[in-house]
Structure 1
Amino acid sequence: MNVLLDLQYLNVATSGIKTYMMELAKAARRYSHPDVHWIFTHEPEKQAADNNYKFPQSKIQRLNYHLDYLRWKEFQLPDLVKKHKPDVLICPDFVSPAASLNCRRLTVFHDAFFWQMPQNYPKWWRKYFLNLIAKGLKENTEIITTTYYSKKSLIQYLGNDWPINVIYQAPKMLHDPIEPTILKNHQLEKEGYFLHIGTFDRRKNLPLLVKAYSEFLTQTGSDKKLVLAGGAGQSKQMDDFPIVQKLVEDLQLENQVILPGYVSDGAIKALYSQAFAYVFPSQNEGFGIPIVESMGFGVPVIHSDQEALLEVANGAGMPFQTGSLEDLTKKMILLSQENDLRAQLIEKGKKRAEDFSAKKFIEAFHQVILNPGK
């Protein structure tokens, strides 16, 4: 069974989809199957390092990227299908070619955000992208998604026309050596800070976390800090970074809230290794990779009771009512006061993290590849 994996989108992917694509490619190479032969459209590390279109600074750059993406999906990728004659084409970025292809298609839909949260996207871009998605839902297509919550959401918007398989993804393997410099530079001590890693997208609800942290300090007198690592949201409509910055200033928390921006894998390892707890207040997620990463590092997790996060944590995290400042503050205080509770969450988390390995990730793909329509 020949499988062609489309990795073109790695040249712009910066967050969850990048992790998904890279870990899928790595797992395919690491855990071979006698009946599955993988063909990559691009060398993953090289494509991910291509910065020609990352963080476009002008409308012309963005337009050039969209034209390049359209040219790839509608002309170059179909040509590769003709050349390699795969049995299966996997597109891990929502979009499959509009052209008819002589192979099965497995298209990965990471979430239903484009339908659920239209306000987060420019109107013209959302319309254009949804049109690309729709045109790629053609003959012999199966959808892969990340959680049963995402599957339920996609059925709501797409109906039951396409088989939808749930495959839990694997977290990013952080192979770089730990970089403790970030801890030293920001005077971060062991178990001395709450942590969040990710973009400042509006749905992440990071202003709520800053407010809850402020209340936590007021009510406990704690000297714990808050680290919010990551870059701006993906568009002006989605970006809460300026709001968080102003909130930090208004609450006079400049010395307590650390905003280091994007950090390296080595710095991420250092931050996880010393964190008191990870706080994930997101309003909507398709999966929630940081939950698995945190648990794997032995860091207890406080997360919103959003459905995907509840599914991924599976009782190993501490949920709070999504959007509730009072409940989030309460849970942060509780974790800081109950050592036994924290120890229990750490042990449960380590066990839960074992369910999300690269081996299980690729084995689930092999099952779908070798058993069409099941």
Structure 2
Amino acid sequence: MKKKTVYVDLFYLNTALTGIKTYMSEFCEAVEENTSDEVSYIFSHNFRQQMASNFYRGNVAYWKKLFYHIYYFFWKQCLLPLKVKKSGADVLICFDFIAPAWPLKAKKLVVIHDAFFWQMPQNYNKFWRAYFIPMIHSGLRGKCTVVTTSFTAKKALEIYSGIHKNIEVIYQCPKLLPEHTQTEGNTLEKFGIQPKRYFLHVGSFDKRKMIQTLVDAFGVIEKKYPGKYSLVLVGERGLSLALDDYDNVVRKIKDENLTAQVKLTGFLPDITVKELYQNAFAYVFPSSNEGFGIPVIEAMNNHIPVIISNQDALMEIAAEAALIHEVGNAESLATMMERLIEDPTLIEELIEKGNRRCAHFNRSSFFNRFEKLIKQP
């Protein structure tokens, strides 16, 4: 049987944050770990160099953003199809919603992580949506399979997106965070926190993450257990002005007199995030909308209890291994946080369930599901 050639588009890694960045990097790591007599891979870019670049990340100048959008369009619609044709690839994988509109001989696997663009249009610039959404649909022409991250995301895409292609669900795997060595203890000291005495959240400050709700809930805990616990918020601003809730979160922390107890760390390297996971009392994920929810599995991998909102994707991924609160309800969330504080046995039960649940999400099964799609005629 002829060996299949797969061209992997990694352009977006130079700006990707959080979930999509993990998705792309874990796939690349899996390719490096697995050699195959049936499939060979061509990466459009060096994935480690793309991840290391900060030129387009963070709070960048307007001209950079504009240039990036123009270059992104040029890459997707001009350079990428030419490179795919020149490579003779049988399959093209695009992890970032967009594939070339050009007719290609290669089969396209296009990852559409969620239906947020259609479900929450108010969160995105209307001019940006006016060209981005048509680009999504035009890229699905021809022989194409859509891949998404959960059955919840698949259902949302079927309802809201107008996508009529076959949609396959492939559960992604969490980032395999490095073990910390001599840095142990330095991070906790730096942020003024104690082991097993802080609640943790890792992720961007997008409005849908409901971090204000988390701050409100923590305020209840602080009143009941003054000075005993901290709240650590790891992550950068939201991905755009329309999405960002950072300033509102900071204002709420000040208004609630929680500045000393709530730690805003900004972006942290993986080794530091690993240390924070391992020493946390619990992980809290109050988001109102997710396609998957990687931190749920990362927290379980690090043997800490998890609290999630009753958002469908989070409940699908966590299954029975997390406490659940009503989305947007700070009192409900505070009640779950208090349950953990008052019940050590519950903590042990959740950790045990989490250990079993996270075993379902690993790099091998993630990669094998992709290879199964690649090998299909």
**Common fold: TM-score over 0.5:** yes
Query: Does the 8 Å CA contact 1:278/1:301 hold for their aligned counterparts?
Result: yes
Report what 2:94 is aligned to: 91
Deviation at 1:14, TM superposition (A): 1.8
Match of 1:247 among 221, 246, 252: 252
Deviation at 1:220, TM superposition (A): 3.6
Q: Work out the number of aligned pairs and report it.
A: 372
| Mean Cα deviation higher: 291-300 or 11-20 | 11-20
Deviation at 1:60, TM superposition (A): 1.8
Report what 2:71 is aligned to: 68
Instruction: Return the alpha-carbon distance in structure 2 between the equivalents of residues 30 and 64 of structure 1.
Output: 35
Instruction: Return the alpha-carbon distance in structure 1 between the equivalents of residues 60 and 43 of structure 2.
Output: 30
Instruction: Return the alpha-carbon distance in structure 1 between the equivalents of residues 137 and 293 of structure 2.
Output: 26
Report SS of the residue matched to 1:89. Answer: strand
Query: Does the 8 Å CA contact 1:176/1:265 hold for their aligned counterparts?
Result: no
Report what 1:233 is aligned to: 238
Counterparts of 1:1-374 in structure 2 under 5 Å? 1-55=4-58, 57-159=60-162, 161-175=164-178, 177-178=180-181, 179-180=183-184, 181-221=186-226, 223-372=228-377
CA RMSD of aligned residues (A): 1.3
Pair 1:176–1:45, CA change in 2 (3 A): farther
Query: Does the 8 Å CA contact 1:193/1:225 hold for their aligned counterparts?
Result: yes
Deviation at 1:122, TM superposition (A): 0.8
**Structure 1 residue identity aligned to 2:111:** V
| Mean Cα deviation higher: 271-280 or 232-241 | 232-241
Query: Does the 8 Å CA contact 2:188/2:194 hold for their aligned counterparts?
Result: yes
| Mean Cα deviation higher: 232-241 or 168-177 | 168-177
Query: Does the 8 Å CA contact 1:31/1:362 hold for their aligned counterparts?
Result: no
C-alpha offsets along residues 64-123 of structure 1, whole Å, 9 cap, x if unaligned?
111111111111111111111111100000000011101100000011110011111111
**Structure 2 residue identity aligned to 1:344:** E
Instruction: Return the alpha-carbon distance in structure 2 between the equivalents of residues 188 and 332 of structure 1.
Output: 18
TM-score when scaled to structure 1?
A: 0.97
5+ residue gaps, structure 1, are: none
TM-score when scaled to structure 2?
A: 0.96
Report SS of the residue matched to 2:171. Answer: coil
Deviation at 1:240, TM superposition (A): 1.1
Report SS of the residue matched to 1:102. Answer: coil
**Structure 2 residue identity aligned to 1:88:** V
**Structure 2 residue identity aligned to 1:86:** A
Deviation at 1:160, TM superposition (A): 6.2
Instruction: Return the alpha-carbon distance in structure 2 between the equivalents of residues 236 and 161 of structure 1.
Output: 31
Instruction: Return the alpha-carbon distance in structure 2 between the equivalents of residues 260 and 48 of structure 1.
Output: 20
